[in-house]
Amino acid sequence: MNLGVDLRAELVKAVAATIDRHADELTTLDQAIGDGDHGINMKRGFDAVLADVANLSAKPWPDFLKGVGTMLVMKVGGASGPLYGTLFMALGKNLPAEPGRDDLIRAFRGAIAAVQARGKSERGQKTMLDVLIPVAEALERGTSEIGALALAAHAAADATIPVKAVRGRASFLGERSMGHMDPGARSSALMIEAIGKVLEKA
Amino acid sequence: MESVGVVIVSHSPKVAEGAADMVRQMVGEEVPLAWTGGNPSGGLGTDVGEIMSAIDRAWSDAGVVVLVDLGGAETNSEMAIEMLPDDRRNKVLICNAPVVEGAVVAATEAAGGSSVDTVRQTAEEYSAR
């Protein structure tokens, strides 16, 4: 039995479960400042990943992550598909077959840069980057306790509430986007918490 | 050389098909043309696989221009272009122009035998007026 296979399968199941549990909430957030499909789209994407979990998790880390990313690109249907798809595809491209903590941090940084390029966005623009970048920074500072990382992720998502959106559909609303949490920041924080909980036990 | 192809990508299949109808009526049949709209479940949205397939249907060795509507359509089209084979990727350009006007102007320019760069530029200049 390959421990990696089980761990990969568990990660997929945990992320798919958290997306499923929060799909309505993500859609509600997106109805406030976007086009109201973030939860539905993410659920469609991760349901597809989950349906293929046996095949995907049998692959080594780089191919597994690329496979997850490609599936999200093809199935999600909104802008979050290419954005999350790029995140996972770039993680897969940047990780060695047997990754350690430092490899993970380096690959995560590279993947964040790829998402920035894909979305032509940067930090502070009310997007998923506002969660991913603070989490990368916490990892770089040596934080490894999952409670602290999840807390950092959720605090970063909360911090998008007062921000005025300048990227994505929410930017059409201008000042009216203020006072709402960014749905992509929320889904990123949820995924980081779910991934962290699985890795903590591994 | 055959003329540049035109692909129309909208969140709504009705918008995409309607824009394509207008191109056909105003420009005629000589320009390769394809449209796509809707997410993988048939709701409003865009689908990377379907965009790749539309680029294939409108393929021309002279290149293809892609007209997109809102945010996700552009991001998904960029993704679709990156996933094309190496020899095709650099011949496909997204136009920063409104879908309907841009598609008609691009197809008109393409029908005159212009290069893919010129077709895009004309569509974008028209929309900037």
pLDDT single digits (tens) A15-55: 999 999 999 999 999 999 888 889 999 999 999 999 999 99
Tell me the ipTM for this assembly.
0.77
How does B14-45 read in b/e, with b if 16+ C-beta sit within 10 Å? ebbebbbebbeeebeeebbbbbbbbbbeeebb
**Statement: residue A63 has pLDDT above 50:** yes
For residue B112, report the phi and psi dihedrals to the nearest 5 degrees. -80, 0
Q: How many CB atoms lie within 10 A of CB A186?
A: 24
Q: What three-state secondary structure class fits B121?
A: helix
A168 touching B (Cβ < 8 Å): yes
pLDDT above 50 (res A1): no
Do the Cβ atoms of B7 and B88 come closer than 8 Å? no
Tokens 């809707």 locate to B38
| % of chain A beyond a pLDDT of 90 | 81
Q: Which of B45, B70, B83 sits opposite A77 (nearest CB)?
A: B45
What confidence category does residue A141 fall into, taking pLDDT thresholds of 50, 70 and 90? Answer: very high
Chain A residues within an 8 Å CB radius of B75: 79, 81-83, 118-119
Q: Alpha helix locations (H) across A34-145?
A: 38-51, 53-57, 61-75, 80-94, 101-119, 129-140
At residue A166, the pLDDT reads: 86
Nearest to A74 among B49, B70, B78 (CB): B49
The predicted-structure confidence for A168-179, as pLDDT tens digits, reads as follows 777 888 888 899
Q: What are phi and psi of A57, to 5 degrees?
A: -75, -15
The torsion region of residue A126 among left (phi > 0), alpha (psi -120 to 50) and beta comes to left
Cα B79 from chain centre: 14
The kind and range of the H/E element at B9 are strand B5-10
Query: Are A37 and A28 within 8 A, CB to CB?
Result: no
pLDDT confidence of residue A2: 58
∠ CA A183-B66-B25 to the nearest 5 degrees?
A: 120
The first and second tokens of residue A175, run together, are 């000042």
As beta bridge partners, residue B65 has B6, B93
Provide mean pLDDT across the span B4-11.
Answer: 97
A78 Cβ neighbours under 8 A, 6+ residues apart: A35, A37, A38, A41, B39, B45, B46, B72
Q: How high is the pLDDT of residue A90?
A: 97
Question: Which DSSP symbol is given to A172?
Answer: G
Answer yes or no: do A41 and B71 touch at CB < 8 A. Answer: no
Out of A82, A168, A169, closest to residue B76 by CB: A82
What is the pLDDT at residue A30? Answer: 92
* Tokens, residue A152: 């950092």
> What's the CA gap between B9 and A141, in Å, rounded?
44
Mean pLDDT, to the nearest integer, of A56-72?
Answer: 97
pLDDT at A176: 87
With a cut of 70, say whether residue A198 has pLDDT above it.
yes
pLDDT of residue A57 exceeding 50: yes
* Cβ within 8 Å of residue B90, ≥6 positions away: none
CA separation for the pair A173, A34 (Å, rounded): 9
Q: Are strands B5-10 and B33-37 parallel, antiparallel or unpaired?
A: parallel
As a whole-number percent, the residues of chain A with pLDDT over 70 amount to: 99
Tell me the CA distances in angstroms from B5 to A91, A200, B82, B90, B99, one per residue in order: 34, 52, 18, 14, 15
Q: CA A23, B43, B88 angle in degrees (round to 5)? A: 105
B129 pLDDT above the threshold of 70: no
On whether the CB atoms of residues B82 and A90 are closer than 8 A, the answer is: no
Report pTM. Answer: 0.88
pLDDT at residue A105 greater than cutoff 90: yes
As a whole number, the mean pLDDT across chain B is 94
Span B24-75, pLDDT tens digits: 999 989 999 999 999 888 889 999 999 999 999 999 999 999 999 987 899 9
Give the residue numbers in B contacting A (CB under 8 Å), as ranges. 11, 39-41, 43-49, 70-72, 75-76, 78-79, 83
What share of chain B has pLDDT > 90, as a percent?
A: 88
